[in-house]
Every structure is written in C-alpha cells, then in structure tokens.
Amino acid sequence: MKSLSIIGAGKVGRVFGRQLALHGVFDVSQVLNRSLASARQAVGFIGAGVAVADWSALRKTDIYLLSVPDDRIAAICETLWQRKLLDRHSLVFHCSGAKASTELAAATTAGAAVASVHPVRSFADVEAVSAGFAGTICSLEGDTRALAVLTPALEAIQAQVVQISAEAKLLYHAGSVFASNYLVSLMDVALRTYAAAGIPPATAKAMAAPLAQQTLDNVFRLGAEQALTGPIARGDMLTVEQQLQKVADWDETAAGIYRSFIPATVNLAARKKKT
C-alpha cells in the first residue's frame, strides 16, 4: 500500500483522508497543518496518520495530497522539492477546482507525477459529506502516471471520475461557482429582499425554501427552458422595469444583481419559446 501525507488538511483534505483510509486505498502517514492542534483534529477526523506542524518533521512518502488555498499550492510544492521529499517515484496532487496540475511545476522538475482532483460537492458539513461521499463526481486531470494511480483510488472510494483538461479548469470551476457559491449569495439576497418587504425571517425562509427547491428540481428534471417561469417568461417587461426600480430604491447592490440577470433570462425565455 502506498503511503500518503496530507498537507493542509482542512475540510476537503479531511474528507479525502478519511475516505482513503477507510477504504484501505493508501496508508495515511502524516498530516501537516499550521498548528499541531489543527493537525490532531484532522487526524482524529480521518482516523489515521500522525499529526505534525513542523516541516522538519515531515517524512518522505509516496504520495502528497495538497489541500491548501489556491495561492499556496505552488509554494508548498516548491517546499517539498527544496526539502528533497520528491523524486521520480513520488506523486503530488492538489484539490483546487480552479488551478490545474501545472501549479505543481516543482514536482515535475523532480520527476514526480502530478495531478489535480476536485470533488464537486459543498463541504459546509464535512460529517455529512463524508458519510454520503459515494457517488461524488471528482474532476481529474494530470499526467499519465498520476492518472494511473488516482483513477482506481477514486473509484475505490466510490467516486465518479470525470477527466477534464488543464486548460478548461478555470471555466469548469466557474460552473461550480455559479451552481454553488453564487447560488448561496443569490438566496441571501432573496431572503433580504423578503425582509425589506416586511416579511419575518422564519416566514421568508418558509417561502423561499420550497420555491427554490422546486425550481432546482424542475431545472434538472425538465431542463432550464421548461423550468423558467415569471414575468420575463411571460413577456411582462413592464413589471420587470418597475420591480428593478423598486429594488434599486432599496439596495443598489441587489438591483445590480437583478439587472444583470435580465439579459440571460430574456435569452432563456427566447429559447423556451422555440422548444
């Protein structure tokens, strides 16, 4: 069994670590975090590994999982190379959705195999994600040697593997941002708009929850064109203009969001008429 060290075991690193250890895919050797307390918490969650908080304590392993902020990936990989922890038998992969395996240039210089693996999930609740990880789609790109190791490893933890290109990484991740991050922001604006109209918070949630959930269900069951309803779908642009002005009187940021959705929704409504 290949040994694995996790560097920066936050939410994603912890979930991956637990899954890989639980299914006996890799031997989780060490977990390096900025603080020993954080590393110990990660080890406790993963159920395997030794917690370390000092680079000098990090031993050489077969595989390194970098679960660190995007702007730290290249520097962390460079540190691995400078500390002579990499060679042609090593494999390094990171979990960024936006960055490609090209961030791991230092590992490539050392002759190591490189890749990126991005799970298409929200990690707000790591216990829930870990318990229901089976079936998670993981986008994978990298060199041939890395894919030969990571593809069966991901399949062993019951992930669905989708191979993408390094060049498409930013655009691919933008899709995930629209589907998740911006969706959260949009729902926050919706709830604040209800509040501005005098609706109590609990009632606003009771209004928004079924509306949002049913709409999402319709998008994936019927398609976006058939799921679209409302004033633009009806061609009632006067209502849209009046509504936009009312929102602008209340909150210009919210009005900017409302305004920016008009062209895309007009285009979607036109597609709906053609179906």
Separation CA 258–CA 236 (nearest Å):
15
User: Residue 253 corresponds to which amino acid?
Assistant: T
SS3 138: strand
The model carries a pTM of: 0.87
Q: What is the pLDDT of residue 174?
A: 96
Residue with tokens 């929704």: 265
Q: What integer pLDDT is reported at residue 19 of this predicted model?
A: 98
What is the DSSP code string of 233-267?
HHT-HHHHHHHHHHHHHH-HHHHHHHHHHHHHHHH
Cβ atoms 114, 92 nearer than 8 A:
yes
Structure tokens at 185: 């922001």
Q: Which two tokens stand for residue 55?
A: 């680079």
pLDDT for the residue numbered 235: 95
In angstroms, the CA 117 to CA 136 distance is 12
CA–CA dist 137, 126 (Å, integer):
16
* Distances from the Cα of 147 to the Cα of 10, 81, 116, 230, angstroms: 24, 21, 10, 46
Sheet of 137-142, strand order: 50-52, 27-32, 3-7, 63-66, 91-94, 113-119, 137-142, 160-163
Cα 32 from Cα 55, distance rounded (Å): 8
Asked, colleague to colleague, whether 3-164 and 171-274 share their fold, the answer is no
What are the domain boundaries of the chain?
Answer: 3-164, 171-274
CATH number for 3-164 (one of 3.40.50.150, 2.60.40.420, 3.40.50.720, 3.30.70.360): it is: 3.40.50.720
Q: State the Cα–Cα distance between residues 20 and 18, nearest whole angstrom.
A: 6
Tokens of 221: 């069951």
Copy the structure tokens of residue 11: 């939410």
- From first to last of its 275 residues, what are the pLDDT tens digits of the chain? 999 999 999 999 999 999 999 999 999 999 999 999 999 999 999 999 999 999 999 999 999 999 999 999 999 999 999 999 999 999 999 999 999 999 999 999 999 999 999 999 999 999 999 999 999 999 999 999 999 999 999 999 999 999 999 999 999 999 999 999 999 999 999 999 999 999 999 999 999 999 999 999 999 999 999 999 999 999 999 999 999 999 999 999 999 999 999 999 999 999 999 98
Write out the CATH class of domain 171-274: mainly alpha
Residue 86 class from Cβ within 10 Å (0-12 exposed, 13-18 middle, 19+ buried)? buried
Contact by Cβ (8 Å): 257, 272? no
